[in-house]
């Protein structure tokens, strides 16, 4: 077994971020989770930070360090997605206020301090608008030397989800996404071309319903309520588990297929704000700056997810 992967997650819970956190904490032998940074995004920072603490508490992990970061984008006004995730970000459930506390440091300070001092290269998983990460890169570019891989949920080669042209995370902060794709690293990119293949079916929800542990029982109504928006707009058969795909990739890279390409983010203030122009056929002849996925083995992904959730009760899925 390889040594646990040094990992930082940057997120904006949000239903799917919440599940991604539970996946990381269930696979504790695979990850050395150095901390979770949070930004405003799906809902306001006061909710995304609280929801992050709630996920850690639900998972029984009072040890996890959570850092609040930027409440909104670098330049733009925060566009929340409460229609998708509910007013407080956890559609369909109400959890008691968390008894955990945020760390005092700002998320950007934590990112810089950790990435400048940790003795091994760190993997950065992002499932939110990229404001925290972009600011850390701008303030201290040397952190890039100690990053093993940046795996980001964001972008789209085809249709958008918050606009016809753009995926939410990159639409919310296009400048931050631009900083990521021009920082010199090859960004592992899981866009909605892939995540829309990871749809929560009623059949899978029935399997989840058979798990008796408190984590599975807590998220069941949330994942059921999460179906509503995506089924209404995107011609899919359930809720789309965008962010869990990032953790699924880190746990089993063979589930995902894609290729090295050049990606450019539209930072205009036009209808195509936040669009990712993915040069899949290398027509522009520009240097590779991303590995973009276009396929996931959804059946194995959901088997993996169910197995992780079953771990919270020592159950066999
Ligand atoms: O477009 C999907 C992404 O935007 C996901 O990360 C979801 O949580 C929202 O943040
Ligand atoms: Ca998210």
Backbone dihedral region for residue 235 (phi beyond 0: left; psi -120 to 50: alpha; all else: beta)? left
CA 303 to chain centre: 19
87: DSSP letter: T
Per-residue pLDDT of the chain (317 residues; tens, 9 = 90+): 689 999 999 999 999 999 999 999 999 999 999 999 999 999 999 999 999 999 999 999 999 999 999 999 999 999 988 888 888 999 999 999 999 999 999 999 999 999 999 999 999 999 999 999 999 999 999 999 999 999 999 999 999 999 999 999 999 999 999 999 999 999 999 999 999 999 999 999 999 999 999 999 999 999 999 998 889 889 899 999 999 999 999 999 999 999 999 999 999 999 999 999 999 999 999 999 999 999 999 999 999 999 999 999 988 77
Phi, psi of 3 (to 5 degrees): -65, 150
- Look at residue 315 in the predicted model and tell me its pLDDT: 84
Q: For atom 1 of ligand 1, which residue has the closest CA?
A: 168
> Which residue of 38, 242, 245, 276 sits with most ligand 1 atoms within 8 Å of its CB, as the best mutation to test the pocket?
242
Cβ contacts of residue 205 below 8 Å, gap of 6+? 220, 223, 224, 238
**What residues are neighbours of ligand 2 (ion), with CB under 5 Å?**
12, 14, 17, 127-128, 243
The number of beta carbons lying within 10 Å of the beta carbon of residue 70 is 26
Rounded Cα gap, residues 106 and 68, in angstroms:
6
Beta strands in 154-275 (DSSP E): 187-190, 199-200, 239-240, 256-265
Residue listed under structure tokens 């936040």: 274
Please classify residue 71 by burial: count the beta carbons closer than 10 Å to its beta carbon, then call 0-12 exposed, 13-18 middle and 19+ buried.
middle
Pocket of ligand 1 (CB under 6 A): 12, 14, 16-17, 41-42, 81, 127-128, 153, 161, 167-169, 192, 242-243
Query: Could you identify the residue written with the tokens 């931050």?
Result: 176
pLDDT the model gives residue 211: 97
* CA proximity to 72, closest of 144, 131, 12, 138: 131
Amino acid 89: pLDDT: 95
Q: Give the C-alpha separation, 157 to 265, whole Å.
A: 11
Query: How far, in Å, CA of 305 to CA of 18, rounded?
Result: 13
Q: How far apart are CA 259 and CA 47, in angstroms?
A: 36
CB 5 within 8 A of CB 32: yes
Of 85, 178, 224, 242, the active-site residue reads 242
What digits encode the pLDDT tens for the residues 207-249?
999 999 999 999 999 999 999 888 988 989 999 999 999 999 9
Comparing C-alpha atoms, which of 185, 170, 187 is closest to residue 131?
170
Q: State the pLDDT at residue 82.
A: 84
Domains and CATH numbers, the chain: 5-313 (3.90.245.10)
Element spanning 70, H or E: none
What CA–CA distances, in Å, run from 293 to 14, 127, 193, 197, 264?
A: 23, 15, 8, 11, 15
Output the CA angle 32-240-186, nearest 5 degrees: 50
- Cβ 243 vs Cβ 177: under 8 Å: no
User: How confident is the model at residue 240, as a pLDDT?
Assistant: 96
pLDDT digits (tens, 9 = 90+) for 48-91: 999 999 999 999 999 999 999 999 999 999 998 888 888 899 99
């Amino acid at each position: 077994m390889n040594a646990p992967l040094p990992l930082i997650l940057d997120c904006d819970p949000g239903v799917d971020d919440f599940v991604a956190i539970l996946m990381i904490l269930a696979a504790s032998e695979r990850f050395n989770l150095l901390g979770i940074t949070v930004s405003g995004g799906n809902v306001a920072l006061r909710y995304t930070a609280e929801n992050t603490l709630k996920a850690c508490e639900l998972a029984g992990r009072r040890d996890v360090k959570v850092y609040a970061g930027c409440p909104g984008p670098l330049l733009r006004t925060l566009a929340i997605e409460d229609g998708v995730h509910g007013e407080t970000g956890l559609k369909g459930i109400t959890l008691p206020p968390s008894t955990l506390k945020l760390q005092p440091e700002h998320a950007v300070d934590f990112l810089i301090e950790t990435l400048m001092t940790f003795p091994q290269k760190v993997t950065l998983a992002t499932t939110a608008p990229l404001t925290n990460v972009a600011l850390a890169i701008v303030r201290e570019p040397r952190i890039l030397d100690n990053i093993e891989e940046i795996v980001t949920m964001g972008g789209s080669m085809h249709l958008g989800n918050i606009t016809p042209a753009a995926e939410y995370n990159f639409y919310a902060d296009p400048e931050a996404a631009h900083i990521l794709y021009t920082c010199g690293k090859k960004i592992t990119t899981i866009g909605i071309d892939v995540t829309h293949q990871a749809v929560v079916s009623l059949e899978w929800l029935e399997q989840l319903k058979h798990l008796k542990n408190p984590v599975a029982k807590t998220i069941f109504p949330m994942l059921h309520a999460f179906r509503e928006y995506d089924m209404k707009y995107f011609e899919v058969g359930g809720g789309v588990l965008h962010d869990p795909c990032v953790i699924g990739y880190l746990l089993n890279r063979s589930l995902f297929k894609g290729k090295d390409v050049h990606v450019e983010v539209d930072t205009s203030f036009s209808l195509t704000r936040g669009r990712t122009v993915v040069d899949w056929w290398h027509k522009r002849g520009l240097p590779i700056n991303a590995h973009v996925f276009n396929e996931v083995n959804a059946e194995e992904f959901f088997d993996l997810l169910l197995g992780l959730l079953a771990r919270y009760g020592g159950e066999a899925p």
